[in-house]
Structure 1
Amino acid sequence: MEKPLLGSSHGDVGLWVRSLIESRKLWHIAGPAIFTAICNYSLGALTQTFTGQVGKLELAAVSMENSVIAGWVYGFLLGMGSALETLCGQAFGAGKLNMLGVYMQRSWLILFCTALLLTPVYVFSDHLLKLIGVQDDISDLAGKFAIWMLPQLFAYAANFPIQKFLQAQQKVMAMAWVAAVVLVIHAFLSWLTIIKLGWGLVGAAVTLNLSWWLVVFGEFGYIVVCCTDTWTGFSWLAFKDLWGFVKLSFASAVMLCLEFWYLMVLIVIVSYLPDPLVPVDAASICMNLNGWDAMIAIGFNAAISVRVSNELGAGDSNAAKFAVWVVSVTSVAIGVVAMIIVFATQDVFPVLFSNSPAVQKEVTRLAGLLGITVALNSLQPVLSGVAVGAGWQAVIAYINIGCYYIVGLPTGILLGFTLKFGLEGIWGGMISGIALQTLILIVVTASTDWEKEASQAESRVRKWGGSLENGNSSSQKNHVTIA
């Protein structure tokens, strides 16, 4: 019989020790993943920050392209790549190492084809922005910048499968080193091209495109040299079972897109306000900060997705369940600290992002809502990571539709326009959708039958193994020991 974890001093000690061990495993993945996510996010955020020193119109244009055009595409491609997170993680846990490289190649094929289909979004972005009501001068400049950013679209398609491939094997330190080096290069080149040489948006586009492709080449170079067990070169097997892979990828894309697009839509809605330049700039700055903080939660998202998928693939349902509770408590604690920091610095941080007193004042007014958003977003991405690790993408997609677009978005429009609360009302209403979704995810996670999930993971690995299944025995267990 399993010893109780609670109700006795021995049980309390056992729980404490288990928590420390699990926390160590999570931080082994989450620490480098958080650092990598912050560095990658900072590429666009730094570009936006340097552009803000050029002018309000340039900042609004870059913000619109980053938040709406690139944000929409980023969410879709990241979602398509998240199918790889489920499959690679569970295959690695089951000991089928030779399946990972083929999975990554299948994902590349799907994402590059998807990127080609999404190219018109960049080419006609000025018309699309005007169609949804964005001010003409902002739309025109954002559309021009979007066309210059087409190389970034294909860098996304190449990078996301690589990241999921490495994360599934817990080889996250390599990603962190690549991200750090590229960020330093990007910061210098951004200052040089945008400010020193005065290239403005042209310099921003050249630097941002170059930096994303440096990330791709750096990570793939590491795979070729150091991942010989899971990468054995290009294979025609990548073309097998593509349609089934597409369906799983699309379910992942819908789930994550609905999350990424939600706050992206906020920028579009704000552009309908009277004199939208200041509100758009203020909202983009707050979303910029929220995005940086969200990188911490996304790091935990990656960590818990890997832990859950690895343990389910290995058939250990109890370990998967315990990992969920440990990472949830940890991420909430970090979210509360981040909220306190936002409240304490609300009169200081706006100055770093804009030299306009009007924009600075509006950002300070939004700080309270930003703090609440930061706290909520500490847990929500983690629970989404659990969903990806377990393969619940389709179910979570329906939850996201209801919470975000049936509750949150209409509430934000009602408060912002009908009740005349402006930007604060729009943001506050949309927070309600995030809060409801987080509550539902807590209930779903708490009521999960983890033994059933482990059984389904075994079936999924067999289904997608194909002719590779004989390569490694399914009885192999790849539990990584943290030294």
Structure 2
Amino acid sequence: MEGNARQPLKTIKLWYLAGPAIFTSVCQYSLGAVTQVFAGHVGTLQLAAVSVENSVIAGFSFGAMLGMGSALETLCGQAYGAGQLDMLGIYMQRSWVILLTTATFLSLIYIFAAPILQLIGQTATISKAAGVFAIWMLPQLFSYALIFPMQKFLQAQSKIMVMALIAAVSLVLHTVFSWLLMLKLGWGLVGAAVVLNASWVFIDAAHFLYIISGTCGRAWTGFSWKAFQHLWGFVRLSLASAVMLCLEVWYFMVLILFAGYLKDAEVSVDALSICMNILGWTVMVALGMNIAISVRISNELGAAHPRTAKFSLLVAVITSFIMGLLLSTILLVYRDTYPSLFSSDSAVKELVKQLTPLLALCIVINNVQPVLSGVAVGAGWQAAVAYVNIGCYYLFGIPLGLILGYKLDMGVSGIWSGMLSGTVLQTCVLSWMIYRTNWNKEASVAGDRIKEWGGHTDSKEDNNARTT
């Protein structure tokens, strides 16, 4: 039995994970966001090129790679909770094999970015500039394939502080060198690509050196041929994770595409990209909580502690909602001044100001939704949630947004309002699924999953030692 006396300790443990995870997520997201900020001061076309590449090409790949890597949140988290430390390194190496293979195929999207963007309706000027920038950003794609498995590997062990430190150092260096190369030396988009690629390579190298330094104990014992065993089952869960997360990541990314079809495309794309930039920053706060709750849920289910898993979820949802309200309030207070940080174009700044109330509402909703998705990842429900996302986002949200934006001539606000309705519906469905969950059954499923993919049966005493 799990006593109520343990719950405050579990709350502290959740925040021990969430605080550094939020900081890490914000710092890593800020790499691309900082590049966009400097690009906005280089020129309108440069901002549009970076925004479209970052949102459409890199956004597509980021969603796919992060989604496939998220399978490790389920597997590593549950294995760690069950005391199966020796499986963590094997799982990470399997994920490397799958993600590097995926990156090789995705590189074609980068190479042919310009014609792809024109094919889906972007202007020739924006498509050409974004296409050149996409080819320069190929190293970032393969960096994604390496970093996501390493981060999930460390998160499962609650080794979050080192990730936060690496993220902080990389952001400081990235900001300094972006200013130097893009503005001071006048390298423009070339400077943006050089610095952004170098920042992700630095993050990869720092994580790998930490992992092989011996600080992870039995979790890392070196490279093993076991990484090529049980690959098909691993691929299935990775694909389910990718579909689930991609449908979420890409959902708001397509807003940038739809804005490109409106009148005065450059202004619409620039204004909306600034809003998405800010939304991305605030979502990183929720994503940090997503990471924390995913680790807690998977650890507790792996350790057969279903009641504690449920309590951790409640704390995470309430906290994320309050943080979303705080962030949106700050944004509304400074709605007249913050657009100047991103662009010097008066038309762009005015449109951003008009969109701010909608952005504030979106922040509140999107601060809760990732936490619920984190529960799904921690419990291994990726396939079920993928179907929910298809229905709520793509069969309801996008059609409604297109009707409001184009048919009713509401422009960017209409498109965004319709798509936001899809997010609200998805959040309600996930809440209902979680409310109906039998947590004791989920704990049993977690144990079966560990055994199926190469784990062994530890004693109950060992399990308890890992999670108390």
TM-score interval, normalised by the smaller of the two chains? over 0.9
- Rounded to whole Å, the distance in 1 between the matches of 2:463 and 2:234 is 25
Establish whether residue 117 from structure 1 lines up as the match of residue 102 from structure 2. Answer: no
Per the alignment, residue 396 of structure 2 pairs with: 407
Shift of residue 391 of structure 1? Answer: 0.3
Shift of residue 412 of structure 1? Answer: 0.7
Residue type of the partner of 1:469? H
Shift of residue 474 of structure 1? Answer: 6.5
Per the alignment, residue 209 of structure 1 pairs with: 197
Residue type of the partner of 1:376? I
Establish whether residue 333 from structure 1 lines up as the match of residue 322 from structure 2. Answer: yes
- Rounded to whole Å, the distance in 1 between the matches of 2:467 and 2:148 is 26
- Rounded to whole Å, the distance in 1 between the matches of 2:467 and 2:12 is 10
Cα deviation 1:431-454 (Å, max 9, x = unaligned): 000000011111111110000000
Establish whether residue 183 from structure 1 lines up as the match of residue 184 from structure 2. Answer: no
Shift of residue 23 of structure 1? Answer: 2.3
Q: Residue 147 of structure 1: which of 135, 138, 147 is its match? A: 135
- Rounded to whole Å, the distance in 2 between the matches of 1:25 and 1:138 is 47
Cα deviation 1:367-413 (Å, max 9, x = unaligned): 01000100001110000000000000000000000000011000110
- Rounded to whole Å, the distance in 2 between the matches of 1:479 and 1:209 is 41
Establish whether residue 275 from structure 1 lines up as the match of residue 261 from structure 2. Answer: no
Paired-residue identity, % = 57
- Rounded to whole Å, the distance in 1 between the matches of 2:461 and 2:399 is 50
- Rounded to whole Å, the distance in 1 between the matches of 2:395 and 2:440 is 33
Per the alignment, residue 145 of structure 2 pairs with: 157
Residue type of the partner of 2:186? G
- Rounded to whole Å, the distance in 2 between the matches of 1:245 and 1:481 is 25
Shift of residue 475 of structure 1? Answer: 5.2
Establish whether residue 237 from structure 1 lines up as the match of residue 223 from structure 2. Answer: no
Matches within 5 A, 1:61-460: 61-225=49-213, 226-460=215-449
Residue type of the partner of 1:476? D
Query: Alignment length, in residue pairs?
Result: 467
Aligned to 1:229, the other structure's residue is in SS state helix
- Rounded to whole Å, the distance in 2 between the matches of 1:311 and 1:19 is 13
CA contact under 8 A between 1:79 and 1:249: conserved in structure 2?
yes
Comparing 255-264 and 325-334, the one that deviates more:
325-334
CA contact under 8 A between 2:94 and 2:231: conserved in structure 1?
yes
Shift of residue 228 of structure 1? Answer: 2.4
Per the alignment, residue 476 of structure 1 pairs with: 462
- Rounded to whole Å, the distance in 2 between the matches of 1:283 and 1:478 is 49
Shift of residue 245 of structure 1? Answer: 0.8
* 5+ residue gaps, structure 1: 4-13
- Rounded to whole Å, the distance in 2 between the matches of 1:263 and 1:2 is 41
Establish whether residue 463 from structure 1 lines up as the match of residue 449 from structure 2. Answer: no
CA-based RMSD of the aligned residues comes to 1.4
Shift of residue 478 of structure 1? Answer: 5.7
CA contact under 8 A between 2:48 and 2:270: conserved in structure 1?
yes
Shift of residue 480 of structure 1? Answer: 6.1
- Rounded to whole Å, the distance in 2 between the matches of 1:405 and 1:327 is 27
Per the alignment, residue 7 of structure 1 pairs with: none
Residue type of the partner of 2:462? Q
CA contact under 8 A between 1:93 and 1:479: conserved in structure 2?
no
CA contact under 8 A between 1:96 and 1:474: conserved in structure 2?
no
CA contact under 8 A between 2:2 and 2:307: conserved in structure 1?
no
Residue type of the partner of 2:38? F
Q: Residue 33 of structure 1: which of 7, 12, 21 is its match? A: 21
Residue type of the partner of 1:293? T
Residue type of the partner of 1:145? F
Residue type of the partner of 2:41? Q
- Rounded to whole Å, the distance in 2 between the matches of 1:19 and 1:122 is 48
CA contact under 8 A between 1:304 and 1:385: conserved in structure 2?
yes
Shift of residue 275 of structure 1? Answer: 1.3
Cα deviation 1:316-349 (Å, max 9, x = unaligned): 1111111111111111111111121121111111
- Rounded to whole Å, the distance in 2 between the matches of 1:190 and 1:451 is 50
Residue type of the partner of 1:100? L
**TM superposition score normalised by structure 1:** 0.95
- Rounded to whole Å, the distance in 2 between the matches of 1:460 and 1:161 is 19
Shift of residue 479 of structure 1? Answer: 5.9
Shift of residue 243 of structure 1? Answer: 1.2
- Rounded to whole Å, the distance in 2 between the matches of 1:176 and 1:77 is 21
Alignment CA distance shift 1:479-1:207 (3 Å): farther
Residue type of the partner of 2:286? A
Cα deviation 1:229-277 (Å, max 9, x = unaligned): 2000000000111111111100000000000000001100110001111
